[in-house]
């Protein structure tokens, strides 16, 4: 879903050389909704995504 919305950078690799991947413009409305869902999931208590967010942020 995030890739379809244009929020994920592309993977442009040739051998050992990593070239920068750019994000697409995608759907602005879908990007906004996915951002709100991610924030809500990270702030929820006792969920897997909230715990994962806290471990990454620490």
All residues at 6 or more sequence positions from 9 whose CB lies less than 8 Å from its CB, including other chains? 20, 21, 22, 23
Burial class, 11, CB count within 10 angstroms (exposed 0-12 / middle 13-18 / buried 19+): exposed
Q: Mean of the per-residue pLDDT values for the chain?
A: 81
Q: Is the dihedral of CA 35, 39, 44, 51 positive or negative?
A: positive
Q: Is the whole-model pTM more than 0.75?
A: no
Q: Is residue 14 predicted with pLDDT exceeding 80?
A: no
Mean per-residue pLDDT for 19-44?
A: 82
Q: Is residue 9 predicted with pLDDT exceeding 80?
A: no
**Gap between the Cα atoms of 10 and 38, Å rounded:** 21
């Amino acid at each position: 879903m995030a890739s379809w919305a244009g929020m994920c950078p592309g993977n442009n690799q040739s051998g050992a050389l990593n070239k920068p991947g750019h994000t697409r413009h995608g759907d602005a409305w879908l990007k906004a909704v996915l951002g709100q869902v991610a924030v809500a999931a990270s702030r929820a208590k006792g969920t897997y995504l909230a715990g994962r967010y806290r471990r990454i942020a620490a």
